[in-house]
A and B are shown apart, each in its own frame.
Chain A
Amino acid sequence: MLRIKEYVKAESLAQAYELNQKRANRIIGGMLWMKMGTVNVHTAIDLSGLGLDGSEERKDEFVIGCMATLRQLETDERLAVLGSGILKESVKNIVGVQFRNLATVGGSLAGRFGFSDVLTAFLALDTEVELYKAGRIPLAKFAAEGAGSDILVRVFVKKDDRRCVYLSHRNTKTDFPVLTVALSSARSGIRVAAGARPQRAILVPADECLNKADAADIFEGRADKEALQAYAAQLAAKVPTGSNMRASAAYRSHLAEVLIRRGLTALNEQAAKERGKKDAD
């Protein structure tokens, strides 16, 4: 049961930051996951009065406020198409619309939950997060280190040429995922994120598996089936997996290879299709 002694709707980030330095105080995002544990909070810090619930398109990036809801990733037309629409794709299976109207982007990332679809998807994009004190850092670094007593304020997603795909396996449609993967293919290379392993999402060291030419093949849609299969096997081997109530490590490792191969294949096919279209024009 969640017990809260005091509640403060922060009037500034500085105030929120200061309050957040005490261990017994907690920033509340959507409050969905926080509520489920037995938690005794001294002061609940609410950021919802700070205008951080919107998103903004800049010349070369999108800025998403930490209090934007997961539902906004679906309903905001600009965000819904960002990164081939993987943000929308990654949240659509999360419980239900009413849940996603509350759960926040900031809360989902800051919680660094093992099961997070959201973290997995953002990792495949060129994403940075802004911490109040520490400033902008890459999401992968944040995912590994966390916010500590700092505050995640905004999320930045670079606009680029990448094609993305998001895949997950679930025991039922709206359950926590058994495994998530998000892949992107850009001129600069391939990115593969895997989450719900069941530990938190990581970026798979794709460079160790695919050289520049391999990645370029996929980006141009020229990779063949055997190559994709081989890349998938190598990439999946770099995804550490474990067992929990939902599945065993062995099954997750198997799924990692299947989903990564399907992801790579989809990226390759998409590129081939676009190339075909261009050639036809």
Chain B
Amino acid sequence: MKTVGKPVIKKDAMALVTGQPVYTDDIAPKDCLIVKVLRSPHANALVKQVVKEGAMRIPGIEAVYTWEDVPGKRFTMAGQTYPEPSPYDRLILDRHMRFVGDPVAIVAGADALCVDQALAALKVEYEVLPAVLDFRKAKDHEVLVHPEEDWRSLCPVGADNRRNLCASGSMEKGDVDKVLADCDVVVSGSYHVQAAQQTMMETFRTFCYIDTYGRLNVVSSTQIVFHVRRILSHALDIPKSMIRAVKPRIGGGFGAKQTVVSEVYPAFVTWMTKKPAKMVFSREETQTASSPRHEMEVSVKIGADKTGNIRAIDVHTLSNTGAYGEHGPTTVGLSGTKSISLYGELDAHRFTYDVVYTNKMSAGAYRGYGATQGIYAVECAVNELAAKLSVDPVKLRLDNMVREGQVMPAYYGETNTSCALDRCLLKVKDMIGWEEKYPCRELGNGKVRSVGLAMGMQSSGISGVDVGSATIKLNEDGIYTLLIGAADMGTGCDTILAQMAAECLDCPVDEVIVSGADTDTSPYDSGSYASSTTYVTGKAVEKACEKLTRQIKERACQILSCSDETLFFDGHQAKDLDTGKTVGLKEIGTASMCGNNVALQVTETHSSPVSPPPFMAGAVEIELDKETGHVEIIDYVAVIDCGTVVNPNLARVQAEGGIAQGIGMALYEKVQYTEDGKLLNNSLMQYKIPTRLDVGKIRVEFESSYEPSGPFGAKSIGEIVINTPAPALTHAIYNATGIWFKELPVTSEKIAMGLLK
């Protein structure tokens, strides 16, 4: 292959490294109204009255809106395919405040100063209600987070607002209880993962304006332009045809921007005032009123026989969706399907779950999407099983892991069509020096070096749901334009999809212009989430290019007056092998604009009935200070099977970045609430993500399988990479201390105090 598999530099790279104004706030009109919201100080309260007059009198204030001013139809902010599994439990502004940070009022004004003054001048009377903050007590609690009559669940996900249930359900194969009872060894434990934050560097932001046709134009830092259009249509109760959504460059997303977090507020202001309006979330808002990971407690039972044959896995997940249900019913599924399925040929498995509402910030989509929580739990339990069996955890996994060709009953019965997990694990074992280093080595000064490992998997798009499309057209100078609805959020999908197009069309990547994403001009795409873009949209690109090639040939045949059989096309020119006459791509492009009936423009759409999982193994070496509890990462190694690696540089950096996020979540990214339900980790000062001094050395390699259903054999990479650090670090910490920590983050305090006990 000429371009697929090559470390092509991203198309937007030089614009980004030279600081060009390409992000939402850089390109917003200067006369935008500044939009901010007043947020509830209470975790559960009813707004009795908002006195706006004082605020309205402040010079420069354009509008103040409260629950009385907004449409009364409930919707969900989750960026999912319609009908969304997430319940319709939101209004733009509600009378009922359900978490500290829930918006009470929208204020729009000429500048930030007057808007701040107006926010301070708003007088709100609340009826404060008791709140349900403990997710372990939320189900069937007397306090209901969503008591309203018009709450709706569109899909059969086991939701019941009268029980604080956003979703519930189960799946089972075989008799788990019976098999577990029959096992020689059973380990069980409950593993708690907090609502970690995506912490992309660009906070949520959107600007809106009305165009020539009176339509609402929404420019937003989003992963999901088409869902934005639909959700705004629901929220504002206006036709979808009246809305256009566009995304410029995005300063990171990691799933955060798969929820419509900021869009509704400036959209409502612009729709009402017909004036341009902009909302830029502060970091504090981004930390306290957004869409973080679902807090989950995952309880696992794993049974094996004496020889280390894993026979049954039982997973129960309790997930906390917070005040609203975005992504609640779907994230939870992955905590079971993507953890149990790491192990093949189980006699039985069971997965049960409850997703509950609480009066905390609502959760959303964060890289890994539930799989991270489930894999953390199951991989920790498998490591504990290895310790109990006194068998090397590498061997235990090699004996039990899912293999290529196996049917995965907990993964919707899909067949594992491409899998190099065994090679990944063996390579990781080699890279970390497992033979010499496992389990640990005392350094003699209170410090100990140890190793730990884990495996992970994810999916490649949502099977039977995600839709990717690509439009490719030939321009008169022989250069192609590729239109996509997928959203490059820094991951490089514009470039990766162009690489695929260039490979198909046998042209340099530079000769493929990429444009997206714009609901008016891009072909439909579900959006960039669920690890779908490379696998799903990539296939659409491949299909579109194949078809375009056929049409180029057809046009060439007309020009050369020859038949299809004698035409040879090499991407640059077409040749009639009979006559030797040629026509160049440029001429074909030009000819397409004169007396032509063959469209040199093709749109293809792709959806996959399967979602082949990428796999990986990760291992870490740490140095642990037994007195202070400090964990220093010496070396993190990961080997990934994402099928064909389309762009090794971009895949590697995805992996390194995901691992760093996983390290932060495992060791120090804390979520702390006051007793009243106020989130304390409300800034980058209080929510500590890793700096470059904290991550140690990260090394990534690839062991590729070939996925027949993927473009050029590719699977996904974006999400899987966050899944191994938490269990691998927990394992290494056990190997250094003899203590199994079952709650993230495993802080130095927990370690030191644990050792003192």
Contact = CB atoms under 8 A, between A and B. Distances in A.
B752 interface: yes
Contact of A172 (B116, B672, B690): B690
Given A169-B748, A248-B749, A250-B753, A174 B628 contact: no
A174 B693 contact: yes
Given A173-B691, A173-B693, A247 B749 contact: yes
A245 B670 contact: yes
Contact of B628 (A1, A250, A255): A255
Interface in A233-273: 245, 247-248, 250-251, 254-255, 258-259
B65 interface: no
B444 to A, nearest CB: 14
Given A245-B680, A254-B756, A258-B627, A171 B748 contact: yes
B747 interface: yes
> Closest 7 interchain pairs by CB?
A173-B693, A251-B749, A258-B627, A172-B688, A171-B668, A175-B688, A172-B694
Interface string B529-560: 00000000000000000000000000000000
A17 B698 CA distance: 53
Max chain A CB contacts within 10 Å: which of B690, B691, B693?
B691
B693 A169 contact: no
Interface in A158-205: 169, 171-176, 178
Contacts of A258: 627-628
B630 interface: yes
Interface in B662-693: 668, 670, 672, 680-681, 685-686, 688, 690-691, 693
Contacts of B753: 248, 250-251, 254
Nearest to B116: A1
Q: Interface extent on B, as a size class?
A: 20 to 34
Contacts of A171: 668, 688, 747-748
Contact of A174 (B691, B752, B756): B691
Given A245-B686, A255-B752, 20 more contacts: A169-B628, A169-B630, A171-B688, A172-B668, A172-B688, A172-B690, A172-B691, A172-B693, A172-B694, A174-B691, A175-B668, A176-B685, A245-B672, A247-B749, A248-B753, A250-B753, A251-B749, A254-B756, A255-B628, A258-B628
A26 B616 CA distance: 56
A227 B627 CA distance: 19
Interface in B311-361: none
27 contacts: A1-B116, A169-B628, A169-B630, A169-B748, A171-B688, A172-B688, A172-B691, A173-B693, A174-B691, A174-B693, A175-B688, A176-B685, A178-B748, A178-B749, A245-B670, A245-B672, A245-B680, A247-B749, A248-B753, A251-B752, A251-B753, A254-B752, A255-B628, A255-B752, A258-B627, A258-B628, A259-B628
A171 to B, nearest CB: 5
A38 B631 CA distance: 36
A258 B752 CA distance: 11
A176 B756 CA distance: 24
B116 A173 contact: no
A259 B446 CA distance: 13
Contacts of A173: 691, 693-694
Max chain B CB contacts within 10 Å: which of A171, A176, A255?
A171
Nearest to A248: B749
A34 B680 CA distance: 19
Contacts of A36: 685
Max chain A CB contacts within 10 Å: which of B630, B668, B681, B749?
B749
Contacts of B748: 169, 171, 178
B231 to A, nearest CB: 31
Interface residues of A, number: 19
A36 B682 CA distance: 12
B665 to A, nearest CB: 13
B624 to A, nearest CB: 14
A99 to B, nearest CB: 11
Contacts of B756: 254
Contacts of B627: 258
Interface string B706-749: 00000000000000000000000000000000000000000111
Nearest to A175: B688
A226 B92 CA distance: 66
A1 B694 CA distance: 30
Interface in B143-177: none
A172 B672 CA distance: 17
Contacts of A259: 628
Interface in B426-468: none
Nearest to B626: A258
A1 B680 CA distance: 18
B698 to A, nearest CB: 16
B37 to A, nearest CB: 16
Nearest to B627: A258
A210 to B, nearest CB: 22
A173 B690 CA distance: 8
Contacts of A1: 116
A135 B374 CA distance: 63
A259 B628 CA distance: 9
Interface in B188-219: none
B578 to A, nearest CB: 70
B756 to A, nearest CB: 7
Contacts of A175: 668, 688
Nearest to A176: B685
Nearest to A251: B749
A255 B753 CA distance: 10
Interface string A95-112: 000000000000000000
A132 B118 CA distance: 41
A278 B37 CA distance: 70
A254 B630 CA distance: 13
B67 to A, nearest CB: 27
Contacts of A245: 670, 672, 680-681, 686
A265 B642 CA distance: 51
A251 B753 CA distance: 7
Contacts of B116: 1
A173 B694 CA distance: 6
Contacts of B630: 169
Interface in B391-408: none
Contacts of B680: 245
A225 to B, nearest CB: 12
A121 B752 CA distance: 25
A149 to B, nearest CB: 28
Contacts of A255: 628, 752
Nearest to B686: A245
Contacts of A247: 749
Nearest to A250: B753
Nearest to B747: A171
Interface string B9-22: 00000000000000
Interface string B606-642: 0000000000000000000001101000000000000
Contacts of B694: 172-173
Nearest to B632: A173
Interface in B100-153: 116
Contacts of A172: 668, 688, 690-691, 693-694
A101 B380 CA distance: 44
Nearest to B756: A254
Contacts of B685: 36, 176
A274 B670 CA distance: 44
